[in-house]
Amino acid sequence: MTIKKMFIDGKWVHASSGQIRTIINPFNQEEIATVTEGDQSDAKAAIIAARKAFDQGDWSSTPATERSSIVHKIADLIERDQQKLAELESLDTGKTVEESREDMVDIAGVFRYYAEIGDKNGGEIISSPIPNSVSKVVHEPVGVCGQITPWNYPLLQASWKLAPALVTGNTLVMKPSEITPLTTIKMFELIEEAGVPAGVANLVLGAGHTVGAELSTNVDVDLISFTGGIETGKKIMQAASVNVKKLALELGGKNPNIVFADADFNTAVDQAMNAVFFHAGQICSAGTRLIVEESIHDEFVEALVERVNNIKLGNGFDKDTQMGPLISAEHLAKVEKYVETGKQEGAKLLTGGRRPKDPALQNGFFYLPTIFTNCTTDMHIIQYEAFAPIITVEKFQTEQEAINLANNSTYGLAGGVWTNDIVKAERCVAKMRMGTVWINEYNVYFPHAPWGGYKQSGIGRELGKLGLEEYTETKHILHNLKPEPINWFGD
């Protein structure tokens, strides 16, 4: 099997150490690729290339319209290779091809959005109180950007970082998750094909404790953008202080989904499932904390369990499959421990809570959709992210109690409210401490709207105009048109 390489300074290269890594399909543990495995020395080489391309190259000074044109070309290429990319993503992650295909549409949309707005950020003239002067504010690229992406949505999360960084004139070094690098490798082939100059976009494969650590600590990196777990995010934040890097951190969530008694019952049940069971619950915004008004609690849970038990697990390439496997054996073991903790805490397991018995699924990292009731906010399973197909159900009696429950978390990424009373809905979302809150909807995003969290869900925003601003520095320029001596210290 051909060893897939990384991309440094416009060249496809093997790791300096000669190390390799085997990539497996989580559906059946079959080997699907072998990739080169980089370390600190490879990360340093990529940083040097990115630094040189920024400081001595033309990319940052290239007219924004030209950079936007290249980013448009990348979107074109993604659309051209959409099916191939979707299949590769499903092999790598285990998710259904239908989900991956929708991801590719979104990814092309992200590149298209930033290409369309990237040349419209030319700054502004501001009123100057100084006579005979002109004052203006301009936005310039940050410099060399380190970008670390997660395994759950490899190419989608990469697009959120790549597109705004490129269109604003930065150079970058990207490190994808070491267990799901395949579509990111393919993306860099498209970046090369689109005509991005050598050294501008660099790809280093390898583990977080080697490549990621170098990106975080290296003084020639000006910004670090990381999507992943909260503990790793804290380490990156500390490491980045060595040269006070700009930080953009998206660190997950434990997201509430509030259902009032006056909501449309069947729609709320359906959407409660959609909020969690896509990609086996491995979604940072998954609405895993279901908070249901007491008067409909029992009926709602009964309907939910009935539907959840009909979810079809299987191969993501099977058109009948509704949910694929977890990402790895290691993650499966963590989920099993998480569920056992819930039982020990006194939560009531209504369905799931184990691996499936179907012989056809035994080689994969499958876990049954799981529902817990009798949950309280002091429980581990309420406060900590599982990243799994698990719903915990809490109940409430009053609107304020629902809000209090929703906000009782160290996270603040996303949440939902289901009610036909729009005034009540607006009251709730005004008090919910989260970066995104949906009313009668869940898990919808688009490139035009910012994404990020309150509290320990992270720092900064991706997507939208704010996602563009993350990759720029703001400079004020004052030009005195008629300079004269001040004579403050005499002639």
Residue numbers annotated as active site: 250
Residue found by looking up tokens 């819930």 in the block? 342
Residue found by looking up tokens 């809570």 in the block? 353
Which residues make Cβ contacts (< 8 Å) with residue 259, sequence separation at least 6?
A: 268, 272, 290, 291, 292, 293, 296, 300, 418
Closest by Cα among 241, 251, 151, 149 to 203: 149
Q: How far is CA 115 from the centre of its chain?
A: 20
Residue found by looking up tokens 């915990």 in the block? 392
